[in-house]
Each structure stands twice: as C-alpha cells, then as structure tokens.
Amino acid sequence: MTDRKTIKEICAQFKEIIAEPGLKIQRLQAEKPAPVIGFLPTDVPEELIHASGAYPFGLVAYDGLWVNRADAHLQTWACSLARCSFGMSLAGKFDYLNGLIIPHICDTTRMISDIWKQNRPYDFMENFILPRQVDRPSARSYLTGELGRLKARLEQFTGRSINGEKLNRSINLYNKHRALLRKLYQLHGHHPDLITNLDLFNAIKSSMLIPKGLHNTMVSELISAVEQQAREKQAEDNHGRVRVVVTGKVWEPPDIMEILDQSKVVCVADDLCTGYRYIANDAAEDGDPLETLAVRQINRPPSPCFVNREQDRLEYLTRKVNECGAKGVIFLHLKFCETENYDYPLLRDALSAANIPSVRVETEIGNMSQGQISTRIQAFAEMLGGGDIYGS
Amino acid sequence: MAVSQSFKTAGLLKELMAKYYEQGNLAREQGLPVVWVTAVSPVELVYAAGLFPYYPENFGALAAARKVADKISLAAEARGFFSDLCGYARCGLGDAYAKEHPVGKIVPPDLLFSCNTQCGSLQKWFETAARMYRAPYFLLDAPLIEAPTTRLIKNYFVEQLEEAINFFEVATRTPFNFDRLAEVLALANEACRLWNEILDMAALKPAPFGFFDACFHMAPIVTWRGTKEAVMYYRELKKELEDRLDKKIYAVPGERFKIYWDHIPVWPKLRWFSELFAEHGALVAVSQYTHSWAYQFDLDRPLESMAENYSEGFSNRCFEDRINLKTSFMKKYQVDGFVLFSNRSCKPTAFGLYDKRSIISERTGLPGIVFEADMSDLRYFSDEQVRDKFTVFFEQLAAK
C-alpha cells in the first residue's frame, strides 16, 4: 500500500503518462510480455483486445511535431489528428506497437488504414468496419458479426482463445472503469476548483495508455482525495466560473483545456471521442458478450460519424445543455473534419433557436494560434456572464 | 477539338436531360414523392417503387461544368459550411440558401436515399439535407470490401435492401412490386451493357471516343438507368460511333498516346484538359469513373445481385484491389501513361494516390503523375501549376 496521494500528485501522474505515452506500457511489457495493440480513437471494442491478453493502447496525436511527416503519403487536407498519429508512426514513435486497429468512422480513417499498411505496417493490422447507420436492426446483427470477425483475428494473432467468460470479465473491468471516470466527471462539475478541465480530460486520455486495472486504482484514489478535500474546504472557489458543453471530436491540442481553465470555463458535458463519449455507457454483463458490445456501441451518444435518426444530435445536444445547466456550447472542431463541419451550421442554428449561445473554435494539431483561441474563449465566457455565481 | 458537342446525339442528350428535369418538377406538382438518390445507389428500387429519383450530384456536376460551382457554394459557406467540404455538397446545400440559381433550382426532396459506397460525404450531405428539409432519410451502408467480399457484408447489404423496400412501402403506402423491379433491372442491364461497349471503343487505335466524351455522354447512364430512355439513348450513340468509325472520324486526330485518367474530370476545365491532351496527340481513353456504371444484375436473385453490384464499387475497395483495377484498365486499353487526380472534394479517391503512383509505375513501367485540383471549384485550380506538371508528363511520354 502506498501512502495516500494528493489530488495534485495523482493528476501529475496522469499528465506524465501522456507526456511519455509509450513508457509505461513498455515497462509493463518487459515485466509481463504480451503484444501491444494500438487503436485510433475511440470506437473500438477495447474489451476484446484486453480479453485476448494484449495491452490496448490508444493512439491520439501526442506530438504535433510530426504532423508533416505524413505529407509524402497523405494530402495536407486530411485532418491533423490522422496526419499526426500516422506521422508519429512513420517517424518510429510507436515502434513498440505490435498491432493497430483502425475503426472506420469517416473517409479518412477508411482510407488511411491501407496507406498505413503500405508504409509502416505492424504485425497485426486490422480495420474495425463499423456500420455507419445505427438506427435500424440490420446494424446490430452486422456489428455483432464484425465483432466476431475481429475477435477471431485477435485470437489468431495472440494464439489465445477469447471465451465468453474471459470477455465478460474484461467487460466488467471496463464497466467499472467507465463508472469511476463518470464519477470523476461529476465531481469535476461540482468542484472545478479541485479537478480542472485539464485534470479530468487527462485522466480520461491517460486511461487509454495503461491497463485499466492500474488506472482504476489511480482514479479511485483521486476520487477519495477529491471527496475528502471537498468536505474539508471552507468555501467554493467558484466565483466567475461558467458552465458549458463542449462538442466535437477530440480536445487536441491539449492546450485547449488549459485555455478553458484559464478562462474559468467549466466543461460539464461533452461528446468528444476522447472525452465523455469514451466513458458514457456500459455493456451488459449478462447475455452474449459480442452482442452486448454491439449494443453498447450502437447506444453510444450520437456522433456525426453515424446516422442515427432515432436520436438526432440536434435534440441530444440541446437536451444535454439543459440537463447540465450549461450556459453555452463550445464547438471544438479540427480543421478538415468533414463530419463535424456538415453538422455544424444546423446544430448552431438549433442551439440558437433554443436560446443557447455557442462559439466555434477551430484547432489544428501542430499549428494552432493559442492567443487567438484564448481571446475567443474569453470573450465567449464574458458574454455568457462569467461574473455570475457558479452552481446549479 | 475533342469534346463531343459535335455528336449528333448531343441534341438527343439535351432533350433527354430536359425531360428528366421536367419530370422532377412534374413529380412535385403531382404530389409524387421526389427521392434524392446518390449516383452509385440502387436507383432500380426507386423506379420500381414508382417514385422519381433526383440526383443532387448531377446538379453539382452541372454547376461545375458551367463554372458557377464556387459561386453557388458561397451561399453555403456564408452559413458555416466550409470550403473544405465536397464541392457537390456545397452546391447542393448552397442552392437552397441562394438567391440566384444560375443552373436552375435544386428540387427539394420528400425522401432521401443515399449509399456510402462512394464516400462518407454523401452520407453527411444527405443527412444534413434531411435535417434541412425535415424529410425521412435512409442510409444504405456499404462497409469497405477487403477482397473477397464476405458473407457478413453481403448479408448486411441484402438486409438493408429489404429495409429500404420497407422504407419505400411506408412512403408510398403500396406493397413493393418485384415484377416491376425485374423489368427495371433488365433495362439497367441493357443500358450498362451498351454503355460499356461504347467505352470499349476507346481501346481502338485510333479511337472514335474517349474519356472526355464519356463524361459528356454519361448523364443518362446515371440518371436514366433502369428506363427505356437510357437504352434508346445508348443504342443511338453506339450507332453514331460505328458510323464515325466507318467514316474514320476520330476523337483525337493523329492519336499517338492513350492515357488512363483517375478518376473524375475537373468539370469546369473539361475542355481545357481535353485540348491540352489533344495538343500532344494524347487520348484519355479510360477512367475508373466512367466505368463505374458497369452493373450486371442477375434477375433470379435480384437483391443479392444488387448487393454485389452496389457494395463493390471501386471506391469502396481496399488499396490493393484498387491498384489492380487501375492496372487492369491500363492493360486492357494499352495505355502509355496515367494521370491520377488528387481531388480535394473527394478523400476516398484521392487519399492513397501518392503511394499508388509509384507502385503503379513500378508494376507497369508506365509514366504517371498526381496533380492537385478540385472537381468543381476553380478556387483550387492553378493553371500554371497543373500545366507545369503536365509538361513534364508529356515529355516523359514522348521520350518513351
């Protein structure tokens, strides 16, 4: 047992994990050899990777320096998230990976997998070919079948069979993990002075880089520390903070969360792939595990990548704002992200019709004007009346 | 002088397309649902359901060919759709907001039916339009084919075709007519057969017909496929081409080279390119694009065979399949070089071309280039840069 750590210490650990994304997993691999299988964010059934005995590893754009490394193989009008991850791979920054799973969620992910295979293949290269409509019965049967295909490929590669029991254990672990992070998210909403936006999102992102069991321990400790300090603290230091919902694909580059923190903007809900969308819902622990994983994927919060007329994003987002008592919405868009851009004008108009102010911030990994974005966010926060008392 | 306005059938084409647009307006007047469909989607279902299929992509191509795509697009851009999106989509969305309609007004949909075999842009464009027009939307989803097609994907596609039939039944309140579907599929087979025989004539040396002609004459195979009109049109065109062969009228006089072009043309520069190639005695003979409409349906198993034809479109195939498709066309048409168009509007056809260029050259020994532009938006076209690229290409060809 270690001594009880402070909030700051645990949050610093999350930050360190992200700063050296492959470090921990390589150490673990040296102790307990197993393949490391990467995945692009985040519509990938990590539970399957885990149940196969391999280490899942999330590839997010960790270092904007390498964006241009991809230029000889991929047009510069692909999004910087894809260019950066691929560029880092070309530069040998992910050489410790044994495999990579690419979920097909847009034209770029659909096309990049073969380009990747061509230029920097890992031993195990698989696509996870998701259904792009999720509101009809055919999606569920197809997805269950696709999960079965991926499972068989993983079994073939790792030489280990994934039986129902193993998979259910992994699902259980992942459910616990998601529940813990949801709890942390809630705490952040109540005590943004104790857990900042950056702390929260670092906690979520770092969980893609180390085994969930290990991460669960850290998040549990963090939750206790936050709860304790919340009990002890005299008064809320929440003057001037304003609650918002953030919508988009990823919170990259990470500076964006620091800007929110500095601007006293508190993200109380989001639908980011590397944010709440990653932890929003669980898979049932009884029944056929492949089917429950399929159902979990289908029931994830609406994303622009999947057609879901049953639960349209327009209504979902408006409802979310009201549920969380947020005062506005920040669109966090990666330049060249088509799926987000198609949705944007009508989403903005729907919000505006519901009297919800919004602002759009365009980011580009490796090429972002921090000052400009900061000014925009601050102006938005002021417009929302940042001077008001925080809380519901 | 290689664009085929001089064809006799050009007049017929004009008539046919006018009739098509007229039908769209008529359908609206008569309260017949207008169904927005995508170019590579089983329109046969729509015809069999007695509905009017409308191709907003065609609207985009028309605007592009008339060099007004960027202008119509501005109306969409003013609303927050960025110029990075597909040029066709920006035109289609922009026209709904625009005050001026230089190529006529886009016909609003009562239903939307899109297939993402071609791309995810169509999926998003149609979804956006469905929100805009508050109309029911059906996405026919085509998972990427990694050769060979799996039973899983085929079953998924067939199941979705059944769901689509149900979608149309609900809209028309009429049971779907499978006999009518068989008739439509037979007509589509016939039109596709004729169209591909016409395309094959570009393999003759010298040839009476090439890619730029095909771009001009392809509208009926897209919009009228599954009707008598398309069959009639391609019979006439084929007759005219045979006649031209007899009279020794060729697409590029003094044809020296044959070229493979991948994939869609730069519509507002169709004539520019056709003249550039003709100047060098080069005929662009073949492209995957115009060959996309090569369907053959098995009437004994209509849904399965539609699933095969529509899910296996080239832009939905893996890297290696797509290289093989390209090189097999190059071989069949005995080309001397190839041009790959990195089309800013079209990620699925553009991404991967940089690697494909070197792999194809390695495998075939042919010179080839990749050039950057947009299929419809002239703001992304640099005359000078493109000309420089092609100058080098023609030098390589001549040196061969």
Q: Give per-residue pLDDT as tens, A142-174.
A: 999 999 999 999 999 999 999 999 999 999 999
Radius of gyration from C-alpha coordinates of chain A? 20
Domain membership of residue B70 (yes or no) is: yes
Contact: A307, B355; criterion CB under 8 Å: no
- On whether any CB of chain A is under 8 Å from the CB of B9, the answer is no
Q: So what's the pLDDT on residue A93? A: 97
* A104, B153 Cβ separation under 8 angstroms: no
Per CB-CB distance under 8 Å, the chain B contacts of A307 are 123, 127, 137, 139
> Could you count the other beta carbons within 10 Å of the beta carbon of residue B165?
18
Q: Which amino acid is at B396?
A: Q
Q: Which of A138, A166, A194 is the last residue of a domain?
A: A166
Domain membership of residue A1 (yes or no) is: no
Answer yes or no: do A119 and A199 share one domain: no
3 state SS of A126: strand
For residue A60, the distance in angstroms to the closest alpha carbon of chain B comes to: 20
For A139, which residue in chain B has the nearest alpha carbon? B156
For residue B13, the distance in angstroms to the closest alpha carbon of chain A comes to: 34
Contact: B84, A72; criterion CB under 8 Å: no
Query: What pTM value is reported for the model?
Result: 0.96
Radius of gyration from C-alpha coordinates of chain B? 20
Given phi > 0 = left and psi -120 to 50 = alpha, else beta, which region is B3? beta
As a whole number of angstroms, the distance between CA B345 and CA B125 comes to: 13
Answer yes or no: do A276 and A350 share one domain: yes
For residue B84, the distance in angstroms to the closest alpha carbon of chain A comes to: 6
Considering only the beta carbons, identify the residue of B121, B153, B320 that sits closest to A338: B121
Domain membership of residue B66 (yes or no) is: yes
For residue B77, the distance in angstroms to the closest alpha carbon of chain A comes to: 10
For residue B323, the distance in angstroms to the closest alpha carbon of chain A comes to: 12
Q: Is the dihedral of CA A336, B87, B348, B156 positive or negative?
A: positive
Contact: B85, A360; criterion CB under 8 Å: no
Contact: B85, A141; criterion CB under 8 Å: no
Q: So what's the pLDDT on residue B5? A: 44
Instruction: Give me the helices (H) in chain A, please.
Output: 7-19, 23-31, 46-51, 80-90, 107-119, 137-158, 164-190, 197-206, 212-232, 255-262, 276-279, 289-298, 313-324, 338-353, 370-383
Give the residue among B176, B112, B162 at the shortest CA–CA distance from B307: B162
Phi, psi (degrees; rounded to nearest 5) at B6:
-75, -5
For B85, which residue in chain A has the nearest alpha carbon? A338
* B98, B72 Cβ separation under 8 angstroms: yes
Answer yes or no: do A215 and A105 share one domain: no
Considering only the beta carbons, identify the residue of B89, B156, B351 that sits closest to A78: B351
Considering only the beta carbons, identify the residue of A111, A145, A342 that sits closest to B351: A111
Cα distances from A117 to residues B45, B238, B297, B357, B361, in angstroms, run 37, 43, 34, 16, 19
Q: Which amino acid is at B55?
A: Y
Domain membership of residue A26 (yes or no) is: yes
Domain membership of residue B323 (yes or no) is: no
Task: For residue A89, give both structure tokens.
Answer: 């791979």
Per CB-CB distance under 8 Å, the chain B contacts of A77 are 84, 344
As a whole number of angstroms, the distance between CA B93 and CA B74 comes to: 10
pLDDT band at A56; cut points 50, 70, 90 = very high
* B259, B283 Cβ separation under 8 angstroms: yes
Contact: B144, A129; criterion CB under 8 Å: yes
Cα distances from A103 to residues A56, A98, A132, in angstroms, run 14, 17, 11
Domain tally, chain A: 2
3 state SS of A265: strand
Cα distances from B210 to residues B204, B255, B268, B338, in angstroms, run 10, 11, 18, 14
- On whether any CB of chain B is under 8 Å from the CB of A134, the answer is no
Q: So what's the pLDDT on residue A237? A: 64
Q: Name every residue whose Cβ is closer than 8 Å to that of residue A141 and which is 6 or more positions away in sequence.
A: B155, B156, B159
Per CB-CB distance under 8 Å, the chain A contacts of B84 are 77, 335-336, 338, 341
Domain membership of residue B286 (yes or no) is: no
CA B64 to chain centre: 14
* A240, A387 Cβ separation under 8 angstroms: yes
Answer yes or no: do A122 and A182 share one domain: no
- Say what the alpha-carbon torsion angle B325, B331, B336, B338 is, to the nearest 10 degrees: 0
Per CB-CB distance under 8 Å, the chain B contacts of A363 are none
Give the residue among A96, A130, A81, A73 at the shortest CA–CA distance from A308: A130
Answer yes or no: do A38 and A12 share one domain: yes
- On whether any CB of chain A is under 8 Å from the CB of B144, the answer is yes
CB pairs under 8 A between A and B: 132
- The strand order across the sheet containing B368-373 reads B282-287, B257-262, B337-343, B368-373
Domain membership of residue B315 (yes or no) is: no
Domain membership of residue A365 (yes or no) is: yes
Task: For residue A168, give both structure tokens.
Answer: 């259910």
Q: Quick one: average pLDDT of A57-69? A: 95
Q: Domain span at residue B137? A: 8-176
Q: Which of residues 64-93 of B touch A (CB under 8 A)?
A: 79-82, 84-86, 89
Give the residue among A147, A142, A174, A177 at the shortest CA–CA distance from A162: A147
- The strand order across the sheet containing A328-334 reads A265-270, A242-248, A328-334, A358-363
Domain membership of residue A2 (yes or no) is: no
Q: Name every residue whose Cβ is closer than 8 Å to that of residue B124 and which is 6 or more positions away in sequence.
A: A304, A338, A339, A342, A343, B89
Answer yes or no: do A217 and A313 share one domain: yes
Contact: A107, B120; criterion CB under 8 Å: yes
Considering only the beta carbons, identify the residue of B132, B160, B319 that sits closest to A118: B319
pLDDT tens digits, one per residue of B190-218: 999 999 999 999 999 999 999 999 999 99
Considering only the beta carbons, identify the residue of A130, A137, A338 that sits closest to B124: A338
CA A368 to chain centre: 20
The owner of tokens 């918002």 is A244
Considering only the beta carbons, identify the residue of B131, B163, B347 that sits closest to A108: B347
- On whether any CB of chain A is under 8 Å from the CB of B120, the answer is yes
Q: What is the CATH number of the domain that holds A59?
A: 3.40.50.11890
- On whether any CB of chain B is under 8 Å from the CB of A344, the answer is yes
As a whole number of angstroms, the distance between CA B271 and CA B139 comes to: 35
Q: Which of residues 85-104 of A touch B (CB under 8 A)?
A: 104
Domain tally, chain B: 1
* B35, B109 Cβ separation under 8 angstroms: yes
Per CB-CB distance under 8 Å, the chain A contacts of B343 are none
Percent pLDDT > 90 in chain B is 91
Per CB-CB distance under 8 Å, the chain B contacts of A108 are 347, 351
Considering only the beta carbons, identify the residue of A72, A108, A138 that sits closest to B163: A138
Does position A1 have pLDDT exceeding 50, yes or no? no
Considering only the beta carbons, identify the residue of B85, B156, B355 that sits closest to A342: B85
Mean per-residue pLDDT of chain A: 94
Q: What is the CATH number of the domain that holds B147?
A: 3.40.50.11890
Does position A175 have pLDDT exceeding 90, yes or no? yes
Q: Which of A133, A166, A199 is the last residue of a domain?
A: A166
Contact: A339, B144; criterion CB under 8 Å: no
* A380, A328 Cβ separation under 8 angstroms: yes
Q: Residue B177, exposed/middle/buried by CB under 10 A (0-12, 13-18, 19+)?
A: middle
Q: Which amino acid is at A22?
A: G
Side-chain half-sphere CA neighbours of B332 within 13 A = 15
Q: Which amino acid is at B173?
A: R
ipTM for the whole complex = 0.95
As a whole number of angstroms, the distance between CA B226 and CA B219 comes to: 13
Domain membership of residue B143 (yes or no) is: yes
Answer yes or no: do A44 and A186 share one domain: no
DSSP state of A136: S
Contact: A133, B80; criterion CB under 8 Å: no
Domain membership of residue B270 (yes or no) is: no
Q: Quick one: average pLDDT of A310-316? A: 89
Percent pLDDT > 90 in chain A is 91
Answer yes or no: do A62 and A179 share one domain: no
Domain membership of residue B65 (yes or no) is: yes
* B141, A131 Cβ separation under 8 angstroms: yes
CA B255 to chain centre: 26
Task: For residue A68, give both structure tokens.
Answer: 């241009």
Does position A236 have pLDDT exceeding 80, yes or no? no
Contact: B156, A335; criterion CB under 8 Å: no
Residues of chain B with pLDDT below 70 are 1-5
Answer yes or no: do A18 and A148 share one domain: yes
Q: Domain span at residue A240? A: 169-386
Contact: A112, B123; criterion CB under 8 Å: no
Q: Residues B49-53: contacts with CB within 8 Å, 24+ apart?
A: B49/B165, B49/B168, B49/B169, B49/B171, B49/B172, B49/B174, B49/B176, B49/B177, B50/B172, B50/B174, B50/B177, B50/B180, B51/B111, B51/B168, B51/B171, B51/B172, B52/B23, B52/B24, B52/B27, B53/B223
- On whether any CB of chain B is under 8 Å from the CB of A145, the answer is yes
Q: Which of A146, A166, A186 is the last residue of a domain?
A: A166
Contact: B351, A108; criterion CB under 8 Å: yes
Q: Quick one: average pLDDT of A27-31? A: 95
Answer yes or no: do A131 and A173 share one domain: no
Q: What is the CATH number of the domain that holds A381?
A: 3.40.50.11900
For residue A164, the distance in angstroms to the closest alpha carbon of chain B comes to: 21
As a whole number of angstroms, the distance between CA B37 and CA B129 comes to: 12
Answer yes or no: do A159 and A182 share one domain: no
Instruction: Give me the helices (H) in B66-119, please.
Output: 69-77, 87-97
Give the residue among B371, B315, B374 at the shortest CA–CA distance from B343: B374
3 state SS of A384: coil
Per CB-CB distance under 8 Å, the chain A contacts of B129 are none
Answer yes or no: do A129 and A110 share one domain: yes
pLDDT tens digits, one per residue of A176-231: 999 999 999 999 999 999 999 999 999 999 999 999 999 999 999 999 999 999 99
For residue A121, the distance in angstroms to the closest alpha carbon of chain B comes to: 14
Give the residue among B66, B114, B120, B68 at the shortest CA–CA distance from B91: B68
